[in-house]
Amino acid sequence: MIYFEDLEIGAESEFGSYEVTREEVLEFARKYDPQPFHLDDEAAAKTHFGRIAASGWHTCAMVMAVIARKVVAEEQAGLGSPGVDELRWLKPVYPGDTIWVRSKLVDKTPSRSKPELGSFRSLTTVTNQHGVPVLTFTSIVLIRRRP
């Protein structure tokens, strides 16, 4: 189990990758972000995207899937997140892309009111298969302290 005390500021983690499929982009867009440039080839061709692009929220969901798989496999004592800061969609993500998720631990703080908890902040960078950054955000994560 990985606890608050095991975390080192400056540590970098690679979480893995996710292959973006056209079917998943369309399914997510139909359910949650039905804008034409996420659903229709002709409409998307007339925008700055040039073709169907994944919703930024879908990209966030794919990133969360990659992160969650690793956190669960490593048995991190995480307790969820109160949010993210500075979420930026830098470049479109397209069907056929493979996104890669990396993070750097930038800060950690023990809780003053709950001694069994701490939190940490990580700068997460998501790149496509060409190494081009497509998404960045700073996550805030609650984590248990060693019992």
Q: What does the pLDDT look like over 99-111, one tens digit per residue?
A: 999 999 999 999 9
Give the whole-angstrom CA distance, residue 23 versus residue 74: 30
What share of the chain in percent tops pLDDT 90?
A: 97
Sorted by where each starts, the structural domains of the chain and their CATH numbers stand as 4-144 (3.10.129.10)
Q: How confident is the model at residue 11 (pLDDT cuts 50, 70, 90)?
A: very high
Instruction: End-to-end CA distance of the chain: give it in Å, rounded.
Output: 11
Give the whole-angstrom CA distance, residue 73 versus residue 58: 23
Lowest mean pLDDT among 1-5, 35-39, 71-75, 122-126: 71-75
Whole-number mean pLDDT of the chain?
A: 96
Mean pLDDT to the nearest integer, 101-128: 97
Looking at residue 128, what is its pLDDT?
98
Looking at residue 138, what is its pLDDT?
98
Looking at residue 90, what is its pLDDT?
98
